[in-house]
Structure 1
Amino acid sequence: MTKLSKMMLTALLIMVLFFLNQVTLEKVTRENEREKAHERTQAGRATEREGETGSLLSRDPNAGLHPRIPGSQSELKANTQPTESSMCFKEDHLEENGFQQEIAWRKAQLYPDWRKEEFQAVNVTLDEDTAHPSLLLSENRRQVTWQESHQDLSSSTQRFDSLPCVLGQQHISSGRSFWEVKVKDAPSWDLGICLNNVTRKGMVTLSPQHGFWAIRFYNREYWALTSPETCLTVREIPHCVGIFLDYEDGDVSFYNMTDGSHIFSFTKNTFSGALRPLLRLWSSAPGTLTICPMGEENGGAINITEQEK
């Protein structure tokens, strides 16, 4: 091989190697560019997902437990299954609603206008056979007045002979009943209910233990005749008092019908036998008590007679 041929072959080899080197370099460059582009795309998508997730987290109180990435299984699980946090939230919410409803119910029970819708008005009339001899009843049996001189009345086992009391003719042994008594013309009084078979002769104690559930106004003070007695506070002096009896629930409640406020309640009693309205006047402060007529404005009053006991 001549010297010229060797030089030409060497030049050809150099050209081939240069070409191959260029091809390899371009290929590596393209691969690097594709990898960088892929990385940029992935980074952009990640940023986009973070923005969406952050937005969802700011709106979802449970996102701390279940990050909501659109289209992911986490989102499907979070949407189809209640989380412990969401369950607690719902339970707390329901419990709070129940508590608020209970408060509203209890507040509603403090107002007589609401209770009238649940109780039946009763036209109470007084039983002259039970009246103390110093108590004068009106002709319609709805008013009782204290008088100094005793009336010459027939002897009766039903009559009070020591305390100036009188009972209503009504015998109540079921249901929800209410009536109202005008008290503004009596400087002292007792009002309430009692069992039909209470003691009426000799020493009589007005207390639930002896079959009486009543309140008292005496010497400008209000008392619940519990044992011992409970001193009461009223917002406004009542001119009329409402007595609400829920026989089955064992509840006797008193309301100031002048301002609509609650006075006192005897609760959780177990009644056995008929109950009767009770009124009492005091000899030291003579006056008059009047039973208010119950008409259509109270949903239609009923008349309970002794035969219904």
Structure 2
Amino acid sequence: MIKLPTVSLAAIGYEKFLWKNITELLKTGMLIIGIYYCRKIYKKLDDLQKKIDKGEQDKYDFQKKFEYSLDKIKATIDKGEQDKYKIKQEKDNIALEKELNKEIEQLKKEIERKKAQFKSAWREIPLYADWRKEEFQTVKLTLDAATAHPALFLSEEGRIVTWQEPCQELPSSPERFVSIPCVLGQLYVSSGRYFWEVEVQDAHSWDLGVCRNNVARTGRVTMSPQNGFRVIRLYDGEYWGLTSPETSLTLKEKPCRVGVFLDYEAGDVSFYNMTDESHIYTFSKQAFYGGLRPLFRLWSSDSGPLVIVQVEENTTML
């Protein structure tokens, strides 16, 4: 039996072989066997290299898949964080919305409460918008010379009153004001609703309103509702309602014309700035006893005139 060598020709090295050696090997068949085994070894080496190359490719593919998976996981985590943030934001928004709704409800309740108070006060003090809905009789009002204080001068048509010095010599009369410089209008009211308008543009100190026909005209006279007067006053640049004690009035602007609304049955006398139709003051819910008459007063020579605005006498919706 031929004993096979344990090394290949590649291991021995071709350059070391001599033709003699090759011939001897051919004789013994060793060269053929060596070539055969060398080819098998080369094939295995080639297969192994392919496997190695495939392993490297698989390793590369696996790494790529792994990185892709990591990216997906990271993206999922990021999305989860975003969703978590969105959920938190939604929760915060819901909480904020609830808080805002709560505050809105509280504001609505406060507004309703204020409206109720406002309406209640509105009923107590009739304003111009409400008075306009009622029927008032406008009259051609003139001044009653028999009641005029001697310091007051009346125009011929009886619509303008001014201060005059020295005082006039007038006949004595129980109807004439002596202690305070007043004059009454010719109108006598014991029922119904009446309206008149007075121009006060150039007057600096005056009283306007109504009084009972039988108020005191001599001696010390205090103008107040208790004494039969429902009057407002301009004096030294300040406006007053002559209540007891007096009520200070704040006006948006100085009136050029003052409207007087008298409702006898309701016990109301209201004053309005006819320039902007704003409310000045109201004497309300005070029952009248006896007849009422318009009242006008000047304070001194620099008071300026009071002029009754002439209107057509009719029944109209104001």
What TM-score do you get using the length of structure 2 for normalisation? Answer: 0.59
For 1:187-206, list aligned pairs within 5 A. Answer: 187-206=204-223
Q: Does 1:118 align with 2:135?
A: yes
How many residues matched? 206
Confirm or deny: 8 A CA contact 1:113 1:260 kept in the other structure. Answer: no
AA partner of residue 154 (structure 1)? P
Q: Specify whether residues 103 and 155 from structure 1 end up closer, same or farther in structure 2 by C-alpha distance, changes over 3 A only.
A: same
Q: Does 1:167 align with 2:184?
A: yes
Confirm or deny: 8 A CA contact 1:182 1:292 kept in the other structure. Answer: yes
Q: Specify whether residues 196 and 212 from structure 1 end up closer, same or farther in structure 2 by C-alpha distance, changes over 3 A only.
A: same
Look up the match of 2:247: 230
**1:155 Cα deviation from its structure 2 partner:** 0.7
CA distance, structure 2, for counterparts of residue 204 and residue 251 of structure 1: 23
CA distance, structure 2, for counterparts of residue 199 and residue 104 of structure 1: 34
Q: Does 1:246 align with 2:258?
A: no
Confirm or deny: 8 A CA contact 1:207 1:213 kept in the other structure. Answer: yes
Confirm or deny: 8 A CA contact 2:149 2:177 kept in the other structure. Answer: yes
1:154-211 Cα offsets, whole Å, 9 max, x none, are 1111000111100001110001111010001211100000000000012111111110
Look up the match of 1:277: 294
SS of structure 1 residue aligned to 2:226: helix
Look up the match of 1:150: 167
CA distance, structure 1, for counterparts of residue 130 and residue 119 of structure 2: 19
AA partner of residue 270 (structure 1)? A
Q: Specify whether residues 227 and 153 from structure 1 end up closer, same or farther in structure 2 by C-alpha distance, changes over 3 A only.
A: same
Q: Specify whether residues 231 and 240 from structure 1 end up closer, same or farther in structure 2 by C-alpha distance, changes over 3 A only.
A: same
For 1:126-145, list aligned pairs within 5 A. Answer: 126-145=143-162
Look up the match of 1:70: none
**1:99 Cα deviation from its structure 2 partner:** 6.1
AA partner of residue 279 (structure 1)? F
For 1:20-99, list aligned pairs within 5 A. Answer: none
For 1:210-221, list aligned pairs within 5 A. Answer: 210-221=227-238
1:203-228 Cα offsets, whole Å, 9 max, x none, are 11111111000000000000000000
AA partner of residue 277 (structure 2)? G
CA distance, structure 2, for counterparts of residue 259 and residue 162 of structure 1: 35
Q: Specify whether residues 256 and 108 from structure 1 end up closer, same or farther in structure 2 by C-alpha distance, changes over 3 A only.
A: same
Q: Specify whether residues 201 and 294 from structure 1 end up closer, same or farther in structure 2 by C-alpha distance, changes over 3 A only.
A: same
AA partner of residue 151 (structure 1)? Q
1:13-62 Cα offsets, whole Å, 9 max, x none, are xxxxxxxxxxxxxxxxxxxxxxxxxxxxxxxxxxxxxxxxxxxxxxxxxx
* Long gaps (5+) in structure 1: 1-94, 302-309
CA distance, structure 1, for counterparts of residue 157 and residue 280 of structure 2: 29
CA distance, structure 2, for counterparts of residue 271 and residue 222 of structure 1: 24
CA distance, structure 2, for counterparts of residue 196 and residue 135 of structure 1: 19
Q: Specify whether residues 106 and 270 from structure 1 end up closer, same or farther in structure 2 by C-alpha distance, changes over 3 A only.
A: closer
Confirm or deny: 8 A CA contact 2:241 2:248 kept in the other structure. Answer: yes
The match for 2:201 among 184, 209, 219 is 184
RMSD of aligned Cα (Å): 2.9
Q: Specify whether residues 108 and 206 from structure 1 end up closer, same or farther in structure 2 by C-alpha distance, changes over 3 A only.
A: closer
Confirm or deny: 8 A CA contact 1:165 1:278 kept in the other structure. Answer: yes
AA partner of residue 166 (structure 1)? V
Confirm or deny: 8 A CA contact 2:190 2:290 kept in the other structure. Answer: yes
CA distance, structure 1, for counterparts of residue 130 and residue 314 of structure 2: 11
Identity of aligned residues (%): 62
CA distance, structure 2, for counterparts of residue 250 and residue 107 of structure 1: 12
CA distance, structure 1, for counterparts of residue 123 and residue 312 of structure 2: 27
Q: Specify whether residues 101 and 200 from structure 1 end up closer, same or farther in structure 2 by C-alpha distance, changes over 3 A only.
A: closer
CA distance, structure 2, for counterparts of residue 173 and residue 152 of structure 1: 33
CA distance, structure 1, for counterparts of residue 226 and residue 125 of structure 2: 29
SS of structure 1 residue aligned to 2:135: coil
CA distance, structure 2, for counterparts of residue 300 and residue 135 of structure 1: 34
Confirm or deny: 8 A CA contact 2:257 2:273 kept in the other structure. Answer: yes
Confirm or deny: 8 A CA contact 1:142 1:290 kept in the other structure. Answer: yes
Bigger Rg, structure 1 or 2: 2
Q: Specify whether residues 296 and 101 from structure 1 end up closer, same or farther in structure 2 by C-alpha distance, changes over 3 A only.
A: farther
1:216-272 Cα offsets, whole Å, 9 max, x none, are 000000000000001000011100001111100100100011111000000111111
SS of structure 2 residue aligned to 1:242: strand
Q: Specify whether residues 300 and 117 from structure 1 end up closer, same or farther in structure 2 by C-alpha distance, changes over 3 A only.
A: closer
